[in-house]
Amino acid sequence: MPPAQRHHPTLADVAQRAGVSASTVSRTMRGLSTVSPEVRARVEQAARELHFVVSRQASSLVTGRTGVVAVLAPTLNSWFIGSALSTLGPVLRAAGLDLLVYVIPDLTERAAFFERLPARRNADALLVFSFDLSEEESARLDDLEVPVVYISQHAAGRPSVYVDDVAGARGGTRHLLGLGHRRIAFVQTTGASGFTFSSHERLLGYRQALAEAGVPWDDELVVATPAGHKRRTAEAVGRLLSLREPPTAVFAEQDEVAVSVLWTLRRARIEVPERISVLGFDDHQMAEWSDLTTIAQSPEEIGRAAGELARDLINDPEADQARHIVLPTRLMPRATTAPPPAGSDHSS
């Protein structure tokens, strides 16, 4: 028979073969408990014999769901986001959900997204990955009428999944203090779209640890450099080394920056950790390759937790819509941290 004349089995065909009503077939396909096991078995057998498949569009009309979870991200060119998506996808697939990604890299596309809000029609939940939102944009997402889960940031009154950046940075700074360092510099990252929340939290943890140890705050020890810019990182390290009392340790808020700091120091023939210790944050693959001491987080665990939370919120409208999942960090001691040089004026 030519393709145009083939008859695709319908819900009514399955109902006729199973000897039940079309509404009973619908309830069976939706997995509702109001269908008896005996009737369910007959309907499923009829569906198999007819090779009947419920289309996504038909299922959406019946259940009011799309079977899709959307992600809003500022970029996909990110170790963190890529690693998190690698575990998010399988969690959603196991729940029968597809993944739709909206990448918003510039202001024009951003304005268009928040004007149209395409996720309103196309998804059962939206996951906002490391995205710096204005109050107006957050309010627009609240209007979606689907669960909106914030990833790698704390969103008050909204479901969120993130690591405790404050505790991680505080623990990293305590590690350096415990080794005897008192002149500890902090290198912030600028221009890393979407990661402002983590940046602020890590600086706060650094400040808290210094205050706990009675180490005075010194603005000169906090410098900033654009993400992935070796020359600007070298300039920032140069400013630190030119201080009247240069640091004996450097804490970089991201491993990628920490590796650039290592590169700069070694190029200047400054021994690490004999003269200056270096600490990073993330446990990026390059941290292990560089034998970098760092504060480890797991974006894979974050992606998995985010997928499970989205699934739960979709399946249970009564679930806690302000649930926060806070994952721990851990210190990974490697070869780039050690006590300050013997005889250092700032080592005690």
Domain with residue 46: its CATH number is: 1.10.260.40
- 116 versus 291: the higher-pLDDT residue is 291
Domain that holds residue 98: 68-163+299-327
Which stretch of 69-73, 281-285, 296-300, 343-347 has the lowest confidence by average pLDDT?
343-347
Mean pLDDT along residues 73-88: 92
Q: What is the strand order of the sheet 148-151 is part of?
A: 98-103, 68-73, 125-129, 148-151, 160-163, 324-327
Flag whether pLDDT at 282 surpasses 80.
yes
Flag whether pLDDT at 323 surpasses 90.
yes
336, part of any domain: no
Flag whether pLDDT at 2 surpasses 90.
no
CATH number of the domain enclosing 93: 3.40.50.2300
pLDDT bracket for residue 220 (50, 70, 90): very high
- 54 versus 61: the higher-pLDDT residue is 54
348, part of any domain: no
Domain count, the chain: 3
pLDDT bracket for residue 194 (50, 70, 90): low
Q: pLDDT averaged over the chain? A: 88
34 and 140 both lie in a single domain: no
Flag whether pLDDT at 3 surpasses 50.
no
- 276 versus 35: the higher-pLDDT residue is 276
Flag whether pLDDT at 224 surpasses 70.
yes
Flag whether pLDDT at 17 surpasses 50.
yes
Report pLDDT digits (tens) over 125-168.
999 998 888 889 999 998 888 999 999 998 889 999 999 999 99
pLDDT bracket for residue 32 (50, 70, 90): low
Angstrom CA distances, 46 to 22, 24, 52, stand at: 12, 13, 8
According to the model, what pLDDT value does residue 317 have?
A: 79
Flag whether pLDDT at 172 surpasses 80.
yes
According to the model, what pLDDT value does residue 346 have?
A: 52
Q: How far apart are CA 332 and CA 322, in angstroms?
A: 32
Report pLDDT digits (tens) over 91-130.
999 998 999 999 998 888 889 999 888 877 789 999 999 8
pLDDT bracket for residue 31 (50, 70, 90): low
Q: What is the strand order of the sheet 330-332 is part of?
A: 222-226, 184-190, 249-252, 277-282, 293-296, 330-332
100, part of any domain: yes
204, part of any domain: yes
According to the model, what pLDDT value does residue 348 have?
A: 45
According to the model, what pLDDT value does residue 22 have?
A: 78
341, part of any domain: no
- Single residue among 19, 42, 63 that ends a domain in this structure: 63
According to the model, what pLDDT value does residue 328 have?
A: 95
334, part of any domain: no
188 and 284 both lie in a single domain: yes
According to the model, what pLDDT value does residue 225 have?
A: 93
pLDDT bracket for residue 34 (50, 70, 90): confident
Flag whether pLDDT at 61 surpasses 80.
no
Residues in the chain, total: 348
Angstrom CA distances, 139 to 31, 53, 131, 144, stand at: 35, 39, 14, 9
Mean pLDDT along residues 163-191: 96
Q: How far apart are CA 223 and CA 251, in angstroms?
A: 11
